[in-house]
Structure 1
Amino acid sequence: MTQDPSSKPSFAKRAGGKKPGYKGKPKPPPRRPGLPPEGPILLYGLHTVEAAFANSDRKRKKLFATDNALKRLEERGVKIDVPVESAMPRALDRMVTKDAVHQGMILEADPLPAYGPEHLKKGRLILALDQVTDPHNVGAILRSAVALSADAVVTTERHAPEEGPVLAKSASGALDMIKHVRVKNMAKFIAEMRENGYTSIALDSDGPESLENTMFGERTVLVLGSEGKGVRHGVREACDHLARLDMPGEIRSLNVSNAAVLSLYVARQKMGL
């Protein structure tokens, strides 16, 4: 039985819709972990922009703002040291993603420098996030870490949000107020911190001891994992202690951003900070 030629799939259909000779767009160059593919990033919102102007490590480029937003920044004593382009709210809306609350101001700036473990040798309390991927959660954790005077927040280079407007806005200025360190290998980082005198404690709902009853060192790294997988096995094995947050209710675990707040609070009480 012969097949009607008209019923044969075309080359385009067999090849996923591409015509013969189609080469597609060239692949973008490799991206450095934690940085956008190219060019500056856009930071928006009052607290985020204010903190970026106060951070000497932040290289600022240009401010787009409404007249009212510019007045608000000046009233708060923000020293604006970049060119300013007056813009209407609708023009600013087109610069950011839908539903982004820019509050009439968008700052064009370079990403922050790449901080590393060498910047943490004088710290007391560090919060490490093992493959926490949600930028809203990481942003909220950065904010809590600043509020509870942690020295740094550490994330992995892969499977963690890159620096960008969503993370910065969720952090509400905290991104420019605390060192955000990115590491290639979390287990290796914990081992390096041990050599610098840190005790490492991984949080796990099945931990043998409650965090309140766990032995803290004078310098401590608290390690939290993703909501689905928790702290990975290899990272847990690298830590000195495995501890749990005891929940009196029917739900045994917290959202990672809430767990970060509680664990930082307990750590400060235990360490006398």
Structure 2
Amino acid sequence: MANIEGRNPIIEALRSDRPIDKLMISNTSKEGSIKKIIGMAKEKNVVIQYVDKHKLDEISTSHSHQGVIAVVSDYKYYELEDLLAIARERGEDPFFIILDEITDPHNLGTIIRTADAVGAHGVIIPKRRSVHITSVVAKASAGAVEYVPVCKVTNIANTIKQLKKEGLWIAAADMDGGVFYEQDLTGPLALVIGSEGFGVSRLVKQNCDFVVKMPMIGNVSSLNASVAGGILLYEIFRQRMKRD
């Protein structure tokens, strides 16, 4: 079992009809969006348990439960074929984000939130040396994890090769590439974002079609992974919208 913590993530879980075993709500929190959550839960016949706030504090892993925790089944990951099918069903060029060993749950959650905003068809993460979907990730995504399919793969380099066979171009975000806004980022595309400390790994970068960078003139030589990802994803979104 797993938990979803915080008001917005739980509202989105209810809205998306994710199966919820029960809601645990602080017996002192009954106003504002909590009333909305209670109403939605009752409509969907979700069990509601009122508990002491200290009980929620003990259970919480995000340390920001906002008076409500949903007990759910573990996140069900998608297969790569599922992501490709989603793009086909929408009649759109595939648009994926590949995360190469992202270990910070807040970065993963924020990237998933941005992926939802720009209409990406899915996020791909490795099974090892990577953060997975947790209550902290769900909270950081503000509920976007309920809408953005996440696929967990054994080997990122092999997955890139498979995506190439499906007609996708693979771009890596790294400082030795071309300026990102001067590159053609339309068409079937996957963007690889590297780890917080080491960037895109050598083997993964070797399998990419091209590399894009963000020019920087400040004293700090890099950006947080989710910030860099957000800038690049919105440029892809802008180019795709302009083309349409």
- The number of aligned residues is 231
| SS of alignment partner, residue 71 of structure 2 | strand
Given that 1:43 and 1:49 are in contact with CA atoms closer than 8 Å, whether structure 2 keeps it comes out as: yes
Aligned to 2:158: 188
Deviation string 1:105-138 (CA, Å, 9 cap, x unpaired) is 1100002222011012143321111001111111
Number of the residue aligned with 1:47: 8
Q: What SS is found at the alignment partner of 1:162? A: coil
Write the deviation string for residues 40-98 of structure 1: whole angstroms up to 9, x where unpaired.
Answer: 10111001111111224x3321111135164231467984432111112222212224x
Pair 1:85–1:78, CA change in 2 (3 A): closer
State the match for 1:126 in structure 2: 96
Partner of 2:52: 88
In the aligned structure 2, how far is the partner of 1:195 from the partner of 1:78? 47
Q: Which has the higher contact order (CA 8 A, sep 6+)?
A: 2
Deviations 1:221-263 (A, max 9, x none): 0001012111111111111111111124333421101001000
Q: CA RMSD in A?
A: 2.0
Query: C-alpha deviations, 1:126-158, integer Å up to 9, x for none?
Result: 111100111111111111111222211111111
Q: Which residue of 2 aligns with 1:63?
A: 23
Q: Describe how 1:1-273 pairs up with structure 2 within 5 A.
A: 40-56=1-17, 58-66=18-26, 68=30, 70-74=34-38, 79-97=43-61, 100-121=63-84, 122-123=86-87, 124-207=94-177, 209-272=178-241
8 A contact 1:59–1:112 mirrored in 2: no
For structure 1, the residue ranges without an aligned partner over 5 or more in a row are 1-39
3-state DSSP class of the match of 2:170? strand
Is the 1:214–1:241 Cα contact (8 Å) retained in structure 2? no
Cα deviation for residue 216 of structure 1 reads: 2.9
CA distance in 1, matches of 2:199, 2:118: 23
Question: Could you tell me how far apart the structure 2 residues matched to 1:236 and 1:137 are?
Answer: 20
Distance 1:80 1:102 in 2: 21
* Structure 1 position 205, deviation (Å): 1.0
How does the TM-score come out when normalised to structure 2? 0.87
Q: Which amino acid aligns with 2:20?
A: R
8 Å contact kept, 2:14–2:40: no
For 1:162 and 1:242, the matched residues in 2 are separated by 26
Q: Which sections of structure 2, spanning at least 5 residues, go unmatched?
A: 88-93
Structure in which a larger fraction of residues adopt helix: 2
Identity %: 29
Change (3 A) 1:235 1:53: same
Partner-residue secondary structure (3-state), 2:59: coil
One-letter amino acid of the counterpart of residue 160, structure 1:
S
Q: 1:61 to 1:92 in 2, by over 3 A?
A: same
Query: Please, which moves more after superposition, 235-244 or 118-127?
Result: 118-127
Distance 1:66 1:227, change over 3 A: closer
Q: Distance in 2 between matches of 1:204 and 1:79?
A: 48
TM-score by length of 1: 0.78
* Letter of the 1:226 counterpart: S
Secondary structure of 1:86's counterpart equals strand
Which structure has more strand as a fraction of its residues? Answer: 2
